[in-house]
Structure 1
Amino acid sequence: MKSLLKILIVEDSQIFAQGLELLLEQHPLIGRIETVSNFENTLISLRKTPFDIIILDLNFETNEYDGFIIAKKVKQLYPKIKIMILTQHTRISHYERLFKECKVDAYLDKQLGVEETYSAIDSIMKGGKYVDLNISEMLEIESWMKASKRENDVIQLLIDGLTQKEIAEELQISPKTVEVHIRNLFNKFKVKNSIELVAKYVKYKSANRENVEDSIPPFKV
């Protein structure tokens, strides 16, 4: 008989942790669930119990550590444990750091449903990596992060409803230069017109919803 999974939830929001635990208890392959709220108790629990999966948040109410530090340390000490990040912080820079540096197994948005959480558990226990749909959509349009300041100025004015001539006047550049910027944006983001370009931009802004200014260290950049 296949042994049931043991899961450790590392989350300092007690309400969220309790709700997640209730949902996970419904999974037929999960046998034991334990919850801790800080780095120290994470390591204590891991020394006592051979957990299969850690479900870890990124942001904690302290300047001493965060989910990145916890994930990296756990993988160093217990490389076979699967680490699933479940967080509201969905940033491209976080994605790259989590998978390349911290070697996590899954990156999930807290806004997803329980069925996708189950799918992620099944996937990583089979040896795969898992990125949920919300984050995948964000990554598909990561080129926005590389757009120049002037290109971002142009797209913002397009959203405001300005014509190319009005954009040129607003930015004090020639209409020809505006046309070149817009053409470059079309090519960069593989769209055919301004309507598609604006739609992709709005989608990007919605995916990157974290307000860095309101974050505590080490999330500030």
Structure 2
Amino acid sequence: MDTDQIKIIIADDNKFFAQALKESLEKNPKLKIIKMFYQLDDLANNCSSFYFDILILDINFKGENSLLIIDQLKSKLNVFKIIILTTLVNNYTKKLAASNGVFNFKSKDETLHNFDLELIKIVKHEDNNNTQKVYYKKTSIASVKLTDTKINILQELYTSASLNEELIAKKLNISIATLKTHKQQLFALTGTKNVSHLIKFGIKNGIILP
């Protein structure tokens, strides 16, 4: 692999971020960005036309969770590594990612410094490893950490948005006071001020499945 460029596809609906990432990675002559996708359906329908080693995939495409199309991608392609870009990693996202063969996460809040070396190491690890491939190794935890309980409450706030607090608390089998406490803690953790903004945050960061 030392003599061959590592071929990479970047899929991100933020064109400015994707272009900056491309320029940063291609400073390393061992890496080559062969295609950029800015829409999920375009990625799903056309990426099978390319041979590549790594897919760098944004978890959120205008509210759509890209983890949900990974099976569709894998059914069309040879073995490749998936690196998920996100601003938040939680237990729900990790479980969904692991079940879909995600190899690693990269937080958008982290610097891109040395990301090129991380990608090279990932591919070299596979080339030098004759054992079974491991697709889910480690997680870069971003600044926000939510417990499974809070993730469940956030999902219920979205699913039962038309219901009042009393009915939502009843569905969750908790008291109204406990529900209110969790909501205030969620506001503090996510930097949001109301349920509407909290739900938008959850969808944007792949915590809530629309």
Q: Which moved more, 1:44-53 or 1:78-87?
A: 44-53
Unaligned runs of 5+ in 2: 127-133, 151-176, 178-184
* RMSD of equivalent CA atoms: 3.3
Show the counterpart of 1:166.
none
Cα distance in 2 for partners of 1:220, 1:40 equals: 20
SS across alignment from 1:12: coil
Unaligned runs of 5+ in 1: 148-170, 172-201
More helix by share: 1
Contact 1:84 1:108 in 2 (8 A): yes
Please give the TM-score of this superposition, normalised by the length of structure 1.
0.59
Whether 1:134 and 2:132 are equivalent positions in the alignment is: no
* Residue pairs, 1:161-200, within 5 angstroms: none
Change beyond 3 A, Cα 1:68–1:209: farther
Amino acid at match of 1:107: F
Contact 1:105 1:124 in 2 (8 A): no
Please give the TM-score of this superposition, normalised by the length of structure 2.
0.61
Q: For 1:109-155, what per-residue CA distance to the aligned partner results, in whole angstroms no more than 9, with x for missing partners? A: 111122352243134312364535435x97xx87x5469xxxxxxxx
Give the greater-gyration-radius structure (CA).
Answer: 1
Cα distance in 2 for partners of 1:69, 1:89 equals: 17
Show the counterpart of 1:93.
92
Show the counterpart of 1:68.
67
Q: Give the superposition deviation at 1:54.
A: 0.7
Contact 1:107 1:130 in 2 (8 A): no
Q: Identity across aligned pairs (percent)?
A: 20
Cα distance in 1 for partners of 2:191, 2:25 equals: 27
Change beyond 3 A, Cα 1:212–1:75: farther
Cα distance in 2 for partners of 1:116, 1:130 equals: 18
Contact 1:106 1:120 in 2 (8 A): no
Show the counterpart of 2:56.
55
Cα distance in 2 for partners of 1:39, 1:83 equals: 15
Higher RCO (Cα < 8 Å, 6 or more apart): 2
Aligned residues: 158
Show the counterpart of 2:208.
220
